[in-house]
Amino acid sequence: MPVPKKVPLRKCAATGEMKPKKEMIRIVRSKEGEVSVDPTGKKSGRGIYVSKTKEAVEAAKKKNVLARQLSADIPPSIYDELLDLVMKGSS
């Protein structure tokens, strides 16, 4: 009998929920301090995860979670990009 594969879980920075990595979007800060959305999950740097829901992205923006967790300024374009990804994923 095959052993079921372990699903990698990640914690949403905005809501604190544990979810499978596939249901999350990674935001990464490079060594240069540049913040970007990482849909592949493979960029190097300090990464945090946000659930792929509009509510989670809006909560992250409201609470300024990304800036705190990544110790970097988050341009508004990052939130716009996250919302775009969420909307594309849910449609």
pLDDT digits (tens, 9 = 90+) for 12-61: 999 999 999 999 999 999 999 999 999 888 999 999 999 999 999 999 99
Closest CA to 60 of 6, 11, 12: 12
Contact 70, 35 (CB under 8 A): yes
Q: Biggest alpha carbon distance in the chain?
A: 50
pLDDT (mean) for 1-16: 88
Instruction: For residues 67 and 82, give the distance between their C-alpha atoms in angstroms, rounded to a whole number.
Output: 15
- What CATH number does the domain located at 9-90 have? 3.30.1230.10
